[in-house]
Amino acid sequence: MVPSIKAIIRSVLPNVRFGSGLPLAVKAVYEGGIRIKVSLPGVEPWAFLDQEILDPRYGEADRKRRLRERVRLGVLRVLEEAYSLAPRPWGLLMGVRPTKMVHSMLDRGFSQSELRKVLANVYAAAPEKIELLLTVAAQQRSFFHPNPNQPVSVYVGIPFCPTRCSYCSFASYPLASHGHLFDGFFEVLCQEIKAVGGLLKELKIDVEAIYLGGGTPTTVQGKKLVKLLSLVRQYLTTPATKEMTVEAGRPDTLSGATLSILQEFGTDRISINPQTMQERTLQVIGRGHGIEEIKRAYRLARTIGIPLINTDIILGLPGESVSDVEDTLRQIEALRPDSLTVHGLAVKRASRLKKEEAEVQIAQETGAEMAFLAAEYAAKWGMDPYYLYRQRHTLADLENVGYSLPGSQSIYNVQMMEERQTIIALGGGGITKLVSPDLSLVRHINPKCPATYSQRIRAGLGAKIGQIRDHFLV
């Protein structure tokens, strides 16, 4: 069976075993459009003739894709009927970046109302998800440039954290157990910044946005932080640079001294991420800080003059109810963030929470209620959704949404998510994406582990530089 059909079956029947049970029959022909018939014993067959795909704005590749989508929709519909399943809010949109498809259709001149029909009829997305997608896409269009390689954006990954949160599946190594790798990692990172930044300067490539992420970049402190930001300023910043973000993340790394250094080096945005404002949950997920530290870091950052502060929260954390989420949002309201990123909890293999999965299930309706509440609060604060992505293994099939006050959107988040701009990534776990004018892309992945990173970059920096150079010179 084709993998995409298996995937859709698994998404609604996670425990399905293929090769046994009821025979699923699919008939697809290209005749005056795409004719599909999907049958499963015991339920009405699903049949459809898609003539919309004959629109001349679609090409051959679209028609092939549409054929697969129609089959998947038919399979979904007969399974819903056979097993009395509630329709899924995201329908067939199972990928990480559902906005990409919307942008591709907007590029070809499809109108909002045409898109609404396609999203509902082809992808079976629920009306609220369609409106979210269209709002996000409309917010993003002005960030796109005609040339994906001029300007570019740069990511710098620092894969260390004070402790490891139980839900974490990112490049993150606790300082207590991996601190001995820090100096070696830092030295190689400096070499990588100099070499890659030097190449960008040589080729006169503008850098639009710089993002220091991780991990927790503010685990780099004092003289080392000054050195890091000096190198970023010297090698990566260009006159075209509009934004520098430091994902401060953990408030327990934010002293007045650290925030002052960030401010001095022109940091435009930081993220202070409580994830929740429930003291008990912070302990359960191993954040290693309390609510007071979040408030203290916020006050300090405002006093020191960091222009924009983003805040991340996670919906579906262990033991949290809708009223806990509401209380968190009320407390965040008092902090007056410039942007809010709302994540659905993703229980991934690499996280400690995976082992306790039974305790972290929430019902679809509860998840939807939490997401609705977060959207309501963001709207009340004057924020609009401006970027969106989905992850596998997210509780209640929730999406991740970035909301922002007008003019406070993170340029980097849009560019990184939509993959219409080359992203040069340095440091641990950084994924370089070299985007071509036809929007195809080639990835280069730096190892997450600080020891492997140091070893590989020492040995392979020349090859990485060569790959980036070739890309720009083609």
For 194-242, the DSSP string reads HHHHHHHHHTT--EEEEEEEES-GGGS-HHHHHHHHHHIIIII--TT--
> Residue 186, interface with ligand SF4 (CB under 6 A)?
no
Verify binding: residue 156, ligand SF4, rule CB under 6 A.
no
Candidates 149-157, 161-169, 302-310, 466-474: pick the segment binding ligand SF4 (CB under 6 A). Answer: 161-169
Query: Binding of ligand SF4 at residue 448 (CB under 6 A)?
Result: no
Residue 182 in 3-state DSSP? helix
- With CB under 6 A as the contact rule, the residue among 70, 103, 164, 471 that binds ligand SF4 is 164
Instruction: Decide whether 100 or 352 has the Cβ nearer to ligand SF4.
Output: 352
CB 170 to ligand SF4: min, Å: 4
Structure tokens at 374: 């977060």
Q: Which amino acid is at 127?
A: P
Closest CA to 474 of 432, 438, 431, 429: 438
Determine if 129 is a binding residue for ligand SF4 (CB under 6 A): no
Which of the residues 208 through 267 are near ligand SF4 (CB under 6 A)? 214-216, 249-250
Our finding on whether 172 is near ligand SF4 (CB under 6 A) is yes
Q: How many residues does the chain have?
A: 474
SS3 state at 388: strand
CB of 163 to ligand SF4, least distance (A): 7
Kindly identify the residues of this chain, within the stretch 390-419, that bind ligand SF4 according to CB under 6 A: none
170 is an interface residue for ligand SF4 by CB under 6 A: yes
Measured from the CB atom, is 89 or 214 closer to ligand SF4?
214
Q: Which phi-psi region, left, alpha or beta, contains residue 36 (left: φ > 0; alpha: ψ -120 to 50)?
A: beta
**Choice between 92 and 272, CB closer to ligand SF4:** 272
Which one, 70 or 250, has the nearer CB to ligand SF4?
250
Question: Do the beta carbons of residue 374 and residue 315 sit within 8 Å?
Answer: yes
Q: How would DSSP label each residue in 18-64? A: TTSSSPPEEEEEESSSEEEEEE-TTSPPEEEEE-GGGSTTS-HHHHH
Looking at residue 244, its amino acid is M
Minimum separation from the CB atom of position 314 to ligand SF4 (A): 9
Give CA–CA dist 397/412, Å, rounded. 25
CB of 350 to ligand SF4, least distance (A): 10
Q: Which is nearer to ligand SF4, 91 or 402 (CB)?
A: 402
- Six token digits for residue 444: 């280069």
Alpha-carbon distance of 151 to 243, in angstroms, equals 13
CB of 273 to ligand SF4, least distance (A): 7
Report in angstroms how near the CB of residue 329 gets to ligand SF4 at its nearest. Answer: 20
Contact segment (CB under 6 A) with ligand SF4 among 55-63, 159-167, 299-307, 364-372 equals 159-167
How far apart CA 381 and CA 338 sit, in angstroms, is 9
Would you count residue 161 as binding ligand SF4 (CB under 6 A)? yes
Number of residues that bind ligand SF4 (CB under 6 A): 11
What is the distance between the alpha carbons of residues 394 and 362, in angstroms, rounded to a whole number?
10
What does the binding site for ligand SF4 look like in residue numbers (CB under 6 A)?
161, 164-165, 168, 170, 172, 214-216, 249-250
